[in-house]
Amino acid sequence: MKPAKAFFGAATGVRASFRASTDSPTRVSVRFTRGGNRLRHIVVEVKPGSPGVVVPWNGRTDAGKVAPDGRYGVSVKAKGAGARRIGRVALHGYRFPVRGPHGSRGAIGRFHAPRSGGRTHQGFDVVADCGTPLVAARAGTVVRRGYDPELYGNYLLINGRATRRSLFYAHLIAPAEVKRGDRVFTGTRLGLVGRTGNARTTPCHLHFEIRVHGRALDPEPFLRAWNRHS
């Protein structure tokens, strides 16, 4: 199994590989199971003399839905033979976006912290050195990219693939390395941590928002969970 840990929507997905010795074309079932339940079933035809078979899995169930986070067992079964376990993979839907040492700004950087003019903070601030790489937490489509001198500086908005969530990244050190309309993978590099916009006098940080149909969610519990497995 490659890799042992995978992210939904990553450029390199899950690849189940195995060898099969057969004298005639044989249909082999590749099964991805979790907690004893089969979530994905892929049938391939193995030809005689084949040196090896590689079966990709895109992280979706047989019903076409995104498979839930968790550890999956992978087995193969040919007609007339018993099932054989070939590996395990841990699948995750999101990756932590800051790819370097990081922390938080404390209370001032949390969701709904008060801001000037009666505003409240709509995201969560992840502190990291300026120039720390930022990646897409989830695969999706870039729907907005620009510069806001008053608030967000260099920013980027991505609609997540197979989800109702949109993810907003702000205060990048320079314009994002992707443009509007681009489709990005989970883990695609987006730019670098900075302090543009109204972050000029603050520590370098990523301002990160999660929205569902325009409604802001508290990103902190999500980010903490993603950080644990990224």
Q: Are residues 59 and 144 in the same domain?
A: no
Q: State the pLDDT confidence band at 117, using cuts at 50, 70 and 90.
A: confident
Q: Are residues 179 and 123 in the same domain?
A: yes
Domain assignment present for residue 97? The answer is: no
CATH number for 29: 2.60.40.4070
Domain assignment present for residue 129? The answer is: yes
Distance CA 141, CA 116 (A): 32
Residue linked to tokens 């802001």 = 216
Q: Are residues 54 and 119 in the same domain?
A: no
Dihedral sign of CA atoms 143, 59, 3, 18 in order: negative
Q: State the pLDDT confidence band at 8, using cuts at 50, 70 and 90.
A: very high
Distance CA 129, CA 123 (A): 19
From the number of C-beta atoms within 10 Å of its C-beta (0-12, 13-18, 19+), residue 46 rates as buried
**Res 78: pLDDT:** 87
Q: Are residues 121 and 82 in the same domain?
A: no
128-183: pLDDT as tens digits:
999 999 999 999 999 999 999 999 999 999 999 999 999 999 999 999 999 999 99
Q: Is the pLDDT of residue 1 over 70?
A: no
The residue among 92, 115, 133 that closes a domain is 92
**Res 110: pLDDT:** 98
The residue among 92, 119, 138 that closes a domain is 92
CATH number for 199: 2.70.70.10
Contact 53, 17 (CB under 8 A): yes
Query: Is the pTM above the cut of 0.95?
Result: no
Range of the domain at 33: 5-92
Q: Are residues 129 and 215 in the same domain?
A: yes
Of 198, 218, 211, give the one whose Cα is nearest residue 144.
211
Q: What percent of the chain has pLDDT over 70?
A: 99
Distance CA 62, CA 16 (A): 16
Number of domains into which the chain is organized:
2
Q: Are residues 64 and 169 in the same domain?
A: no
Q: Round the average pLDDT of the chain to a whole number and report it.
A: 94
Tally of residues, the chain: 230
Q: Are residues 121 and 88 in the same domain?
A: no
The region that residue 162 occupies, defined by phi over 0 for left and psi between -120 and 50 for alpha, beta otherwise, is left
Distances 164 to 40, 134, 197, 213 between C-alpha atoms, Å: 23, 22, 28, 7
Q: Are residues 33 and 138 in the same domain?
A: no
Q: Are residues 153 and 224 in the same domain?
A: yes
Q: Are residues 108 and 214 in the same domain?
A: yes
Strands 26-34 and 37-46: antiparallel
Q: Are residues 20 and 126 in the same domain?
A: no
Mean pLDDT, residues 83-110:
96
